[in-house]
Amino acid sequence: MADALLPMPTELTSFINEWKVKPGNLIMVLHKVQEHYGYIPQEVAVEVSKILEIPLAKIYGVATFYHLFSFKKPGKHKIAVCLGTACYLKGAQDLLDEIDAIIGCKAGEVSSDEKFSVDAVRCIGCCGLAPVLTIDGKVFGCVTADHMAGIIAPYQNDEVN
């Protein structure tokens, strides 16, 4: 499957070549790839395999071991709902259910219009504001399912970049 983002930019290729001989290079390279694309495209993983001269299976093994790496292109807006203990007890699952009802997207998925990706995360670090979610890093605290439509609407209507 071809990716419109390829060929790989020169600065990314240079970074990979710079790290090629350093210990721990694969993790650093995968971080840089994900930082650039927002995920690890299959075609880029193949190129990284060639440049670093390591099996593609090793790249997939490392990238799937660490939850922060993804092989799925994220939506334009990233929603993260905290499912830590305080948030869960105060209704975080209801937030996920309401998000699914509004945009048709469950945790771990990307909406059909590719505007949103939704993730359930373990802790955002705002337990006193439980339940908490973030959209593109902006924190929303003390959220109820009734708040979700109003929170999501500006992102749906492209009022927020």
Residue 81 has pLDDT above 90, yes or no: yes
Q: Say if CB 115 and CB 73 are below 8 A apart.
A: no
pLDDT at 6: 58
Mean pLDDT (whole number) for 70-86: 95
pTM score, whole prediction = 0.78
At 5, the pLDDT band (50, 70, 90 cuts) reads: very low
Edge-to-edge order in the sheet of strand 77-82: 109-110, 116-121, 77-82, 133-135, 138-140
Query: Residue 145's pLDDT is what?
Result: 97
**Per-residue confidence (pLDDT) for residue 3, from 0 to 100:** 44
Query: Do 132 and 124 contact (CB within 8 A), yes or no?
Result: yes
* Residue 1 confidence class, pLDDT cut points 50, 70, 90: very low
d(CA 153, CA 161): 13
Q: Look at residue 100 and tell me whether its pLDDT is greater than 70.
A: yes
* pLDDT, averaged across the chain: 93
d(CA 47, CA 29): 11
- Indicate if the pLDDT at residue 121 is higher than 80: yes
Check if CATH label 3.40.50.1100 holds for domain 77-156.
Answer: no
Place of tokens 């007890």: 89
Q: What percent of the chain has pLDDT over 70?
A: 96
| Distance between CA atoms of residues 58 and 31, nearest Å | 15
Q: Is the pLDDT of residue 24 over 80?
A: yes
| pLDDT band at residue 97 using 50, 70 and 90 as cut-offs | very high
Angle of CA points 137, 141, 143, to nearest 5°: 115
Residue 20 or residue 7, greater confidence: 20
